[in-house]
Chain A
Amino acid sequence: MSNIVRLVWFDLKPDLKPPVWIIMEWVVFLVQVGVYGAIITQLVNNPLVGDYRQFFAVGLLIMITFDMGSHTGRHFVEHAHEGRLPYLLSLPISRTQLFLTIALQGGAELALMLAVPLTITLLIIGNLTLVSVAACVLTLFWLGFGVAGLMLALSFIAFKSSDLYTAIVTGLSAIIIRFSTVLYPFIVLPPQYASAAAFSPLTYGSDLVRFILGFDPGILLNPYYAVVVLTALAVSTLGLGAVLVQRLVEGVKSA
């Protein structure tokens, strides 16, 4: 276990000296909520939604979570491309521990990224009970692990062709974010859009967080479905990623 923590800390340390990109993410979030959120709230006037800025802030949290999950997968691919993966594979740790390291590092980065945006969102919404905060954090991490697992599983494509991997991940990201309820409530979506959104994990992540934070359940998907979908996603993709690392990965540079 100590080697896992050592590896995570060693890789993470340069990002924190100084933590420019994390602070920039926080600033971007503040600007998004403070400026764009204020303007868009004037334009969206739907009694079902209520204060759109609150809805929007949760959507931004979900997008940060998705970005960080994707980043974890990309990070793994970069390790392979930079030639660092063979070194990691030669260290005296098991492949399972190596996979845990990747997941834990993704989790640590997600926690750092979300610390300030989540606090601001909770302050805006005003729901600051211990249960709501804990459930909210748990949901975001569960979603983050699911997305990271998905990207890690897809990262093995990059060993064959990094161009194909980039194309697939870019396309998938665009579809998963756009066709979801991250920025629009499910009940206002046109039927075709709603059908597509039902397949996006972000739909379930964002609706579950909103349910926990006390949004009107009438505009959200059933939270029980969300728990089932997010759990299935995290377990299946992380499991697949772990098996692939264990069995398939070889420290060769991609073509």
Chain B
Amino acid sequence: MHAVETAGLTKQYGKVFALRNLDFTINENEIMVLLGPNGSGKTTLLLILATVLKPSSGYAKVMSLDVTAQPTRVRRILGISFQEARGFWRHKPADILRFHANVCGVPKAERDTLIESLLKDLELWDARNKLFMHLSGGQAKRLEVAKVFVQRPKFAIIDEPTSQVDLRGKRKIWAQILKLRKEGSTILVATNEVREAEYLADRVTVLDEGRKVVCDTVRQLKDSITGGDIVELEVEVTEPQILEKALTELEGTVKVTNRGGNRFKAYVSMAESWVPKMTDVCYQNKARISSIRITEPSLDDVFLHFTGRALREDS
């Protein structure tokens, strides 16, 4: 059984499609990362799953509950952290978390301990008695994600968990997300930060213009790019032309260029299986390898490969 399942999910605003015929699943206890530029439909999908928006057509189910037909039951098992911190602007962080925990049914016995530990871990303890309106952007964002961590829902939705947060804060939030998964939650994260996706994702779904472009593990997505891995090679060899020809003919090679003298740059698929074959070829050609540098494609490259556009151009 999938924790989340959508079929033909479409959201339309007038003539504009925010989501088009989306078929999408998340396995139980999985971290699924939605990757896409701004306006790709990530937030719309999250809000539909959170029952905040209604789909125009198709269906979405969370833990087998239909979000349109059983919205209140869906809301009882999910928690959402919004892209922008939502303003109870005259309240204090500790009060906001206490209220949220209370409404979401966190047992009273563990509420205060949990809130204190989270406020400390996310470095909000000193700001706990400030009014929300006096928090910095980063503090407000950390408070927003803290709501989900204090709630510990079966299904957690986190929209851009670390936008406006510094690197130290990012690491703390990522650690909390991984801890949440360890405790049994299924997690859906939307982001346009490649590094975040690579760090957190069990699987990644790439969205573009409301459509699912591709969905797989980070490894598989990277490997699916023909010639996506780049191997830079420096060798000691007497006849470099012969070696270049041999490398070009190797299985998995897309292109080899000679960068002058005995330096080569090879564009290959799946460097991890190409490199052992390459060392054999070098041995056969009496070439001594001085250095190897392998660069694998980023999710940016994956996005570019599947959509023909760079992720960052739009974000």
Contacts and interface: CB of A to CB of B under 8 A. Distances in A.
B103 interface: yes
Interface stretch (A85-93, A168-176, A182-190): A85-93
A89 B103 CA distance: 13
B47 A251 contact: yes
A75 B51 CA distance: 22
B273 interface: no
B88 interface: yes
A6 B72 contact: no
A90 B72 contact: no
Given A14-B90, A90-B75, A251-B52, A83 B84 contact: yes
Interface string A1-35: 00100110011001000000000000000000000
B103 A90 contact: no
A84 B82 contact: no
Majority-rule SS of B interface residues: loop
Q: Which among B54, B75, B86, B99 has the highest number of chain A CB atoms within 10 Å?
A: B86
Given A14-B90, A83-B82, A84-B88, A250 B102 contact: no
Contacts of A11: 88
Contacts of A89: 51-52
A252 interface: yes
A82 B102 contact: no
Contacts, number: 58
Contact of B89 (A82, A91, A94): A82
B50 interface: yes
Given A86-B86, A87-B82, A3 B103 contact: yes
A95 to B, nearest CB: 8
Interface string B66-109: 00000110011010101010111111000100010011110000
B103 A6 contact: yes
Interface in A58-109: 82-84, 86-87, 89-95
A223 B76 CA distance: 47
13 contacts: A6-B99, A10-B99, A83-B82, A84-B88, A86-B82, A86-B86, A90-B50, A90-B75, A90-B80, A91-B75, A92-B75, A94-B71, A250-B53
Interface of A: 3, 6-7, 10-11, 14, 82-84, 86-87, 89-95, 250-252
Given A10-B95, A250-B52, 12 more contacts: A3-B103, A10-B88, A14-B90, A14-B91, A82-B86, A82-B87, A83-B87, A86-B86, A87-B86, A90-B52, A92-B72, A251-B52
